[in-house]
Structure 1
Amino acid sequence: MDRTPAPVRPVPRLVATDIDGTLLGADRAISPYTADVLARLTARGVPVVLVTGRPVRWLKVVYEQLSAPLPAICANGAVVYDPVSDQVLRADPLAPELLAEVARRLRAAVPTASFAVEIVDSREMRHEAHFPLRWETDPTLIRAIVAPEELHSVPAVKLLVRAGEQDPDLFTAVVAEALAGLAEATHSSGSGLVEVSAAGVTKAAGLAWYCTRLGVTAPEVLAFGDMPNDVPMLTWAGQAVAVGNAHPAVRAIADEVTSANTEDGVAAYLEQVFGTD
């Protein structure tokens, strides 16, 4: 019998977690238990970073449920946001010329595609008139446009693509093939929405930049996620944990699997690692 002890992992110096489907429960709320665990971690001096596909403007709902706002990597790594100063520390958008070429390629590959763009560091959104919105909108922040050229007239940290009801994995593959070498394509939902970023822009890249500022290395990071847009971050981090409800692609590359988001899987795992003090 092999009695070699299992290697002991060092206690992480930074925790990075996705939000939707990972930290949030079925009602898209953070439970009091999870909020308390995160608060205790930050009080101990352990940085906790939200790493999300969400735009900056959607973070308010999350921050309202926490004892204090947490720094965030938004738009799948394109935006690094400091909520204390309400400042974007770094943005890596698609330039207008690149955005125009991305749109051209996608219209050729998927003639039925419709687009939206996250602009002003994801504080505002523009969308084609026929782009289906599946959430409540604020007309001061989300505006329909008519002329296609207006879509790519300014830099955008993310392009959103829909083409009716689509299998999200298959549709993402189609978009990725059309944009090979030009931009990144991923998805974070089951609705057939594909998210496009500039080449090299991923959750891993945004988190790596932020960690460098803090002097934290990849092996010192504990990361949680549930969807394909989390795969780069989980692959980069020293310790990758999938929640129990995670997409198969995430479970396949994770070091461990915790309980589902509806069971406070992130908080339960953090207590195992850091204790309950």
Structure 2
Amino acid sequence: MRLVATDLDGTLVRHDRTVSPRTVAAFRRLHDSGVAIVLVTGRPIRWIFPVYSQLNVPALAICANGAATYDPATDTIVHSAPLEADVLAEACARLRAEVPGVVFAVERDGGRQMRHEPGFPVGPWEADHESVGPCTPEELLTRPAAKLLVRAGVQSPDEFTARVGACLAGLAEATHSSSSGMVEVSAAGVTKASALALVARTQSVEATDVIAFGDMPNDLPMLTWAGRGVAMANGHPMVRAAASDVTKYSNEDDGVAEYLERIFSF
């Protein structure tokens, strides 16, 4: 394998948002041996830096489920595929007509900024973040967005994602990466797989030479594209069923590190 791609939350990162010393050591060995490393996450760019500070490997990061590829060496977005403003407006209009009580937020500039409608619930860790703030429904639609975030009260994540996906069929991609009932919407054709395939091509790496790790439905396109797609032991049942392999251990117990140690014999 010439390239290792990994999701973060629920995969590489533990519940307390830390990366274990064993995992850090495994990725340092990969880097030192010349294996390319790509972080592939639903996280916005503003959430990437704590992982970089722990992992200490200058890996590209595919953020916002494939909408933005970030290079930490230059602090630049080297590729982006946002929802254009007209598509964003159409998506919101369809969902407002279909889903009672729906509220929205958008990730902009790869997730360097988030804007949300007043009724959209924001996590306590971001309530006072300088890059996060409320706006009117009209202001929400004035610029392209890396992701549209959709909520409508308490929902079953799988069922609500299917409902949103059906409503936006042919217009945009819908997925989810948590148990909170929030749906993440990207531009049509934009997934973790589409962005990872582009990175692999730029490094002259074939899909057969890629191993990818993930745990949630937003990881499915990447896991099925990679030559070896590995689901976490703690992963969503649908992800474990679709993967070519499953780790012995969860993200809490160094599942990725243990798997890499066996595959690369270090």
Counterpart residue number, 2:14: 25
Counterpart residue number, 1:89: 78
Aligned to 1:64, the other structure's residue is in SS state: helix
Alignment equivalent of 1:193, drawn from 178, 182, 192: 182
Shift of 1:121: 2.3
Shift of 1:27: 1.4
- d(CA) in 1 for partners of 2:131 and 2:102? 23
Counterpart residue number, 2:220: 231
Counterpart residue number, 1:265: 255
Listed one character per residue, the Cα deviations across residues 198-249 of structure 1 (whole Å, up to 9, x for unaligned) are 0000000010011110000111100000000000000100001111000011
- d(CA) in 1 for partners of 2:202 and 2:72? 16
TM-score, normalization by structure 1: 0.94
- d(CA) in 1 for partners of 2:129 and 2:180? 23
Listed one character per residue, the Cα deviations across residues 30-70 of structure 1 (whole Å, up to 9, x for unaligned) are 00110111011101110111000000110011111112332
Shift of 1:80: 0.8
Alignment equivalent of 1:121, drawn from 110, 116, 120: 110
Listed one character per residue, the Cα deviations across residues 92-122 of structure 1 (whole Å, up to 9, x for unaligned) are 0011011000000010111211100001221
TM-score, normalization by structure 2: 0.97
Counterpart residue number, 2:66: 77
Counterpart residue number, 1:131: 120
- d(CA) in 1 for partners of 2:124 and 2:226? 32
- d(CA) in 1 for partners of 2:79 and 2:70? 7
Aligned to 2:77, the other structure's residue is in SS state: strand
For residues 139 and 260 of structure 1, do their structure 2 counterparts lie closer, same or farther at Cα, with a shift above 3 Å needed? closer
- d(CA) in 2 for partners of 1:150 and 1:26? 34
Counterpart residue number, 1:43: 32
Equivalent positions of 1:188-227 (< 5 A) are 188-227=177-216
Bigger Cα displacement from structure 2, 78-87 vs 129-138? 129-138
Contact kept in structure 1, 2:4 and 2:35, CA below 8 Å: yes
- Point out where structure 2 has 5 or more consecutive residues left out of the alignment: none
- d(CA) in 2 for partners of 1:29 and 1:238? 28
Q: How many residues align structurally?
A: 264
Contact kept in structure 1, 2:113 and 2:131, CA below 8 Å: yes
- d(CA) in 2 for partners of 1:139 and 1:250? 33
Shift of 1:140: 2.0
- Point out where structure 1 has 5 or more consecutive residues left out of the alignment: 1-11
- d(CA) in 1 for partners of 2:259 and 2:129? 40
Query: Percent of aligned pairs with the same residue?
Result: 57
Equivalent positions of 1:160-199 (< 5 A) are 160-199=149-188
- d(CA) in 2 for partners of 1:196 and 1:57? 18
Counterpart residue number, 1:99: 88
- d(CA) in 1 for partners of 2:100 and 2:80? 30
Aligned to 2:55, the other structure's residue is in SS state: coil
Provide the aligned C-alpha RMSD in A. Answer: 0.9
Superposition misfits of 4+ residues, deviation over 4 angstroms: none
